[in-house]
Chains A and B, each alone.
Chain A
Amino acid sequence: MNKLVEYFRTQMSQDPDVASAVAAIRSLLEFLKRDQSETILGLRENLTKAIGRLQEADSSVAVSSGGELFLRFISLTSLENPDLSQCRNMMIERGELFLKKISLSRGKVAKLCHTFIKDGAKILTHSSSRVVLKVLESAAADKKRFTVYVTESQPDSAGKHMADKLRKLNIPVTIVLDAAVGYIMEKVDMVIVGAEGVVESGGIINKIGTYQMAVCSKAHNKPFYVVAESFKFVRLYPLNQQDVPHRFKYKADTLKTAEDLNQEHPIIDYTPPSLITLLFTDLGVLTPSAVSDELIKLYL
Chain B
Amino acid sequence: MFKMVNLSFNAVSFLSVCVLYSVLYHRFDSQEARIQMPLAFLLWVTHNNAEMTTVDPPNIAMTSIMGNWPCNSAKKANTGHIGTKSIQSLIMVPEVSEYIVMAFCFLFNLLSAVKRLPEHIQVDDPAVVRKLAKKLERQQIPLRSDYGYKVSLFSHLHQYSRKAPLTQQISIPATVIHPSIVRLGLQYSQGIVAGSNARSVALLHAFKQVIQDYSTPPNEELARDLVNKLKPYISFLNQCRPLSASMGNAIKYIKKEISNIPSQYKEEEAKKKLLSCVDSYVNEKITLAAKGISKYAIDKISDGDVILVYGCSSLVNHILCEAFEKQRKFRVIVVDSRPRLEGREALRRLVNRGIRCTYVLISAVSYVLPEVSKVFLGAHALLANGYVMSRVGTSQIALVAKAYNVPVLVCCETYKFCERVQTDSFVSNELDDPDDLIVTRKGKTHLADWQSETSLGLLNLVYDVTPPDFVDLVITELGMIPCTSVPVVLRVKNVDQ
Contact = CB atoms under 8 A, between A and B. Distances in A.
A242 B488 CA distance: 29
Interface in A203-253: 235, 237, 239-240, 242-243
Nearest to B408: A239
A292 B374 contact: no
> What size tier do the contact residues of chain A reach?
10 to 19
Interface residues of B, number: 18
A200 interface: yes
Interface string B448-485: 00000000000000000000010011000011111011
Interface string A256-279: 000000000000000001100000
B492 A201 contact: no
Nearest to A243: B300
Interface in B292-311: 300, 302
Contacts of A243: 300
B481 A200 contact: yes
A157 to B, nearest CB: 32
A289 B482 contact: yes
B300 A293 contact: no
Contact of B407 (A200, A235, A240): A240
Interface in A14-43: none
A154 B374 CA distance: 32
Contacts of B407: 239-240
A274 B405 CA distance: 13
Given A200-B480, A296-B492, A239 B300 contact: yes
A273 B300 CA distance: 19
A292 B300 contact: no
Contact of A202 (B479, B482, B489): B482
A294 B83 CA distance: 38
B472 A292 contact: no
B473 A293 contact: no
Contact of A237 (B473, B488, B489, B492): B473
Contacts of B489: 296
Contacts of B484: 289, 292
Contacts of A242: 302
Contact of B485 (A235, A239, A240, A293): A293
Contacts of A201: 472-473, 482
B485 A296 contact: yes
Contacts of A273: 482
Contacts of B409: 239
A273 B485 CA distance: 13
A39 B407 CA distance: 45
Contacts of A293: 485, 488
B473 A239 contact: yes
Interface string A125-164: 0000000000000000000000000000000000000000
Given A201-B473, A237-B473, A240-B407, A292 B482 contact: yes
Contacts of A296: 481, 485, 488-489, 492
A300 B473 contact: no
Interface string B143-163: 000000000000000000000
A237 B485 contact: no
B77 to A, nearest CB: 28
Contacts of A240: 407
B356 to A, nearest CB: 21
A96 B478 CA distance: 31
A239 to B, nearest CB: 4
Given A201-B473, A235-B479, A296-B481, 9 more contacts: A200-B479, A200-B481, A239-B409, A242-B302, A274-B469, A292-B482, A293-B485, A296-B488, A300-B478
25 contacts: A200-B481, A201-B472, A201-B473, A201-B482, A202-B482, A237-B473, A237-B480, A239-B409, A239-B473, A243-B300, A274-B469, A289-B482, A289-B485, A292-B482, A292-B484, A292-B485, A293-B485, A293-B488, A296-B481, A296-B485, A296-B488, A296-B489, A296-B492, A300-B478, A300-B479
**Cβ-closest 5 pairs across A and B:** A289-B484, A239-B407, A292-B485, A237-B480, A293-B488
